[in-house]
């Protein structure tokens, strides 16, 4: 699972990262979590505002801090979804 936290490094972005890591620990799941602060790379995801949360290439949230429950739902959905890249 690939998770990208999009943002310039503000406290809101750090909060999304913290919540995401806590949810992964709670679910006992591993993931490739990366913080992307380069504005050109952030723009590639076509989000309007930061922070942004991208899981397996899908923008799940932008411009706000999602709740831990929302993050948990999205991670569970992506963890259960078949990996189309291996087909």
Residues acting as catalytic residues: 10, 13
Number of other CB atoms surrounding residue 22 within 10 Å: 13
* Tokens (6 digits) for 45: 């995801």
Three-state secondary-structure class, residue 51: coil
Among 25, 32, 35, smallest CA distance to 5 is for 35
Three-state secondary-structure class, residue 31: coil
């Amino acid at each position: 699972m690939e998770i990208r936290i999009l943002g310039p490094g503000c406290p809101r972005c750090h909060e999304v990262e913290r919540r995401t890591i806590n949810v992964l620990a709670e679910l006992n799941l591993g993931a490739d979590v990366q913080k992307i602060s380069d504005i050109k790379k952030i723009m590639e995801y076509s989000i309007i505002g930061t922070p942004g949360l991208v899981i397996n290439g899908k923008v799940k949230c932008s411009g706000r801090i999602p709740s831990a429950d929302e993050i948990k739902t999205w991670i569970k959905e992506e963890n259960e979804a078949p990996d189309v890249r291996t087909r």
